[in-house]
Structure 1
Amino acid sequence: MTMNFLTNRRVLRVAAFIVVAIVVAVAPLVSSPYVNFQLTMIAVFALAILGLNIVMGYAGQISLGQSAFVGLGAYITAFGVSNHWPIVLTFILVCFISAVVGLVVALPALRLRGHALAIVTLALPIIAIPLARRFPEVTGGSNGMTVNWLDAPAWTGLAVDQWRYYVIVIITAVFFLFAHNLVTGRVGRAFAIVRDNEAVATSMGISSYRYKVIAFALSALYGGVAGFLYLGAVQFTSPETLNFVIAINLVAALVIGGTGSITGSLIGGAFYVVVPILAGQVNSSQTAIFSGAALLIVLLIVPGGLVTVPSVIRQSMKKRSGRPKPGGADGADVTSAAQAV
């Protein structure tokens, strides 16, 4: 009975994955340029939120400066495109520089106790905006930088919006797959132990400091790649890309989607893009109020984020049917996880 149930679940997951893949592949061919642009932006911000999820949801640290890394990636890309650098080289530089900046921030901050990382990352967008305005020869100053790239090659037969959608979604999918393998593997188990109990991690020979630094560097790298993709979708960046409000909205979207969940990052990206659009249909000046209200409602009804809605529904149905709840503690045991590491 149990084997049949597990087999059916695997079949359903594979079927669901195939259906989703077909929908993602076909969507830009049957949608308008506007819809394709919004879908592309969901992929961009889902990647930025996924990076935030690695450091907050999986490693248990607080980061409030993800917009700074998104803006950094966008500016590096804009500078590279403007100077006709090979796009592959530009992408590699975005990954490398973003990760290095993340290391430079994390190495001293994470040696301090308490919320030092949160305070340091809080300052990143505040410092980055005047810096971007101070060097107009590199960043375009307050006017920002407009570029023209990622146009559809003639041999594809695709429109520009369709080509950009495919490129950005494929890159996003690759990084999502990498993150999934990371958090479900040895490093992910170490993250979980450090997040749940640093004393236990130390007793098991796991360096909390090392894994916190790794998590933040990966988060910065993901933010930089999101900036690279953002410029591909929007073709423009300015100091407003570094705005602290964007960083806070990314954190809110992560919480709404669900921390410690790959799927939650994707839901958070959809929330980040779709809710302001819907709110704008009602009253564009009240977008922040709508977003804040949505955050409060989600936290009150499903504190674990929207990704936990199916499990909440299943538990509710079990209670109504009178079936006893399965025994055992929720989540993985810290000791067994440590042994796996």
Structure 2
Amino acid sequence: MATLLRTKWFRLGLGVVVAVLLLAAPLMLPLFANQTLVRIGVYAIAVLGLNLVMGYAGQVNLGQIFFVGLGAYVAAFGVTHDWNIVLVFVAACLLPGVVGLLVALAAARLGGLAIAMVTIALPIVGVPLAKRLSDLTGGSQGVSARFSGAPDWSGLYDDQWQYYVLLVITAVAFLLARNLVRGKFGRALKAVRRNEAVAASMGISPYRYKVLAFTVASVFGGASGFGYLVAVQYTSPETLSFGHSIALVAAMVVGGAGSIAGSLIGGAYYVFVPQLTNSIDPNLTAISQGVILLVVLFLLPGGLVSLPRVIRRLARRRSPQPASPWPEETERQAQA
């Protein structure tokens, strides 16, 4: 069975089955299910960007939600000013990327607590700034931008159209991230995370790759912000709040740091766990989420993505060891 799972044709067939299910899902699921899947895609992209910085590069980033909110605001501005939708998407990714580059150029030489403070400042400054720039952001009331309705030629409902838009963006983001971490860029990030001095001796610039990782993560945050506006069609200063940024970090850890698949699990965690804890007791939501995080960290330090590996390891430990066909030889080796 294990050999079958490793074969190229099995993986290709499994990929085709998953692709067909993803394409057919919105045509069979009810409205709320499609909206839930869209939100999972939105936050999975944000967690994916955060994973590139923290999981692969080992660099602290507690301000990823700032770039998500910035991307949402840029998208809202473009839509309200009748920009072409492709231009809106490019701008929603590009502007957060530029801001992320500027922040990274100043902060990448820092480490530990210093860079944590810099990234914490982003959402803390972003919320009052969004409220003050009311001409651009709508102030405390936020801004609405409806642009993701299904076109007439598609024959789809709005929720189905939004699902397909987010499916394309999410698929491209995950394929891009997969190619990055499996190539030279990913190997350099791992070297920097393990030991910067050793990486520098190998000709890898820790500063350069930290800046690149932070910039790419910011672009992913902007893409997530665009997706957020597609799904919600509204954004406000609350989108930038620091609490959401911490929730993204928790989602990354629970899903699995340094894992592409873990980012998708993290997106699902970000969406489902608050709903679950609210349904149990709205007054204990924060406590319940903290307990869940602690339980996962204690039982699965590698996140939920490591669960199949842990199960296989436990199964091997419990399976009986085959007896040696030459007990005398085994005893002689033990005595030697």
Answer yes or no: same fold by TM over 0.5.
Answer: yes
Correspondence 1:1-341 to 2 at 5 A: 5=3, 8-322=6-320
Residues 104-136 of structure 1 show CA distances to partners (whole Å, capped at 9, x for unaligned) of 111111123433221100010000000000011
Which deviations, in whole Å up to 9, do the C-alpha atoms of 1:269-303 show, x marking residues without a partner? 00000111122222223222221111111111111
Post-superposition offset of 1:85:
1.0
Kept after mapping to 2: 8 A contact 1:43/1:168: yes
Q: Is the 8 A contact 1:106 1:117 kept in 2?
A: no
Kept after mapping to 1: 8 A contact 2:60/2:112: no
Output the CA distance in 2 between the equivalents of 1:278 and 1:19: 29
The alignment partner of 1:151 has SS state of: coil
CA drift at 1:27: 1.3
Hey, what's the Cα distance between the residues in 2 that align with 1:44 and 1:303? 25
Secondary structure in structure 1 of the residue aligned to 2:281: helix
1:75-126 per-residue CA deviation (whole Å, 9 max, x = no partner) reads 0000110011111111111222111100111111112343322110001000
Query: How far is 1:15 from its partner?
Result: 3.0
CA distance in 1, matches of 2:292, 2:20: 30
- Measured at CA, do residues 244 and 82 of structure 1 come closer, stay the same or move farther in structure 2, by a change above 3 Å? same
SS of equivalent residue, structure 1 residue 281: helix
Q: Which stretch of structure 1 is more off in the superposition, 180-189 or 8-17?
A: 8-17
Between the aligned partners of 1:323 and 1:63, the Cα distance in structure 2 is 46
CA displacement, residues 131-175 of structure 1 (integer Å, 9 cap, x when unaligned): 000011100000000111111011111100000000111111011
Structure-2-length-normalised TM-score:
0.93
The alpha-carbon deviation at position 8 of structure 1 amounts to: 4.8
Q: Structure 2 counterpart of 1:181, which letter?
A: N
Residue 47 of structure 1: CA displacement? 0.2
1-structure distance, mates of 2:178, 2:321: 33
CA distance in 1, matches of 2:198, 2:258: 20
The alignment partner of 1:179 has SS state of helix
2:255–2:303 contact (8 Å) kept in structure 1: yes
Matched residue, 2:330: none
* CA distance in 2: counterparts of 1:188 and 1:35, whole angstroms: 35
Counterpart contact for 1:49–1:250, Cα < 8 Å: yes
C-alpha contact (below 8 Å) 1:110/1:116 kept by paired residues: no
Q: What is residue 329 of structure 2 aligned with on the other side?
A: none
Gaps spanning 5+ residues in structure 2: where? 323-336
Report the TM-score, using the length of structure 1 for normalisation.
0.91
Aligned pairs, how many? 322
- The amino acid that maps onto 1:209 is Y
Q: CA 1:24–1:229 in 2, change beyond 3 Å: closer, same or farther? A: same
**CA RMSD, aligned part only?**
1.6
CA distance in 2, matches of 1:203, 1:121: 28
- SS of 1:165 mapped into structure 2: helix
* Amino acid across the alignment from 1:289: I
Q: Residue in 2 aligned with 1:333?
A: none
SS at match of 2:90: helix
Name the CA shift for 1:15/1:293 in 2 (closer, same or farther; >3 Å). farther
Write the deviation string for residues 289-332 of structure 1: whole angstroms up to 9, x where unpaired. Answer: 221111111111111000000000111111112559xxxxxxxx
CA distance in structure 1 between the aligned counterparts of 2:23 and 2:78, rounded to whole angstroms: 30
Correspondence for 1:332: none
Distance 1:278 1:25, change over 3 A: same
- Percent identity among equivalent residues? 55
- 2:331 match: none
Give, as a single letter, the amino acid of the residue that structure 1 aligns with 2:256.
G
